[in-house]
Copies of this chain bind each other. A is one copy, B any other.
Amino acid sequence: MSDAQAPIKRRASVKEGDERHEAIYRAVSDAIVEQRLKPGARLREDALSEVFGISRTGIRKILQRLALEQLVTLTPRRGASVTRPTADEAKDVFDARHLIECGLMPDVARRMGEKEAAELRDMARQERQALRSGQQSVAIRLSADFHVRLAQLSGNATLAEFVERLCSRSSLILAVYGHRGHLGCESHDHDDLIGYLETGNGERAKAFMSRHLKTIESSLSIVEEKSEAPDLREVFRL
């Protein structure tokens, strides 16, 4: 309580420092994806540094990483803010997912074992649970986790990383353009997919994934909100 106690705060060892950074990164990332931090929200460096108890240096590092993943936007001299995905970006992201995730299905089917299937089923179960209990944002994140894990099972770490990035951005997109009460992924879709993969039916899984992604995308109402810098010419029919 007293000021005297403040300096007692034991200095975290450097090793722990790295984990701490990772934890903070995840905390911010999750907050964005689960829309506790809404698009456009400013992320001031001092505010974050105070909240997490590390200096601005560490915060900047984390913000830069998030910026490279396009979850936050870094405007020079204006600082960081949660990215507001544009309609174009949304289209690009889903096209990319289509190409990559579908392309990976045959590989995944080939490497699918009992253990992997069980793990995936468990993830799908958690997701349904979150959805039932009304935690839509959490469900969106869990759904992304599912897709990422799937990609990892392909054995291609590079592509899995790409999928991870795409899924984060997708979560953001869903949070922005998705309808309330309508999760991107149908609740049983993921289980069906596991079924195809378990039987080694790569082509079938591929086709299913294709439909699956199309379903998600078409569930979005992607209308660009031109809140900033509206086209006056258009507004006044000139």
A158, B68: Cβ atoms under 8 Å?
A: no
Q: Could you tell me which residues of chain A, from 94 to 151, have a CB within 8 Å of some CB in chain B?
A: 95-96, 99-100, 103-104
B96, A156: Cβ atoms under 8 Å?
A: yes
Q: Could you tell me which residues of chain A, from 59 to 76, have a CB within 8 Å of some CB in chain B?
A: 61, 64-65, 68, 76
In the complex, which residues of chain B have a beta carbon less than 8 angstroms from the beta carbon of A14?
Answer: 76-77
- Count, chain A residues at interface, CB 8 A: 25
Q: How far is the CB of A16 from chain B (nearest CB, A)?
A: 12
A41 within 8 A of B: no
In the complex, which residues of chain B have a beta carbon less than 8 angstroms from the beta carbon of A186?
Answer: none
Q: How far is the CB of A96 from chain B (nearest CB, A)?
A: 5
B92, A156: Cβ atoms under 8 Å?
A: yes
For A148-165 the 0/1 string (1 means CB < 8 A from B) is: 000000001111001000
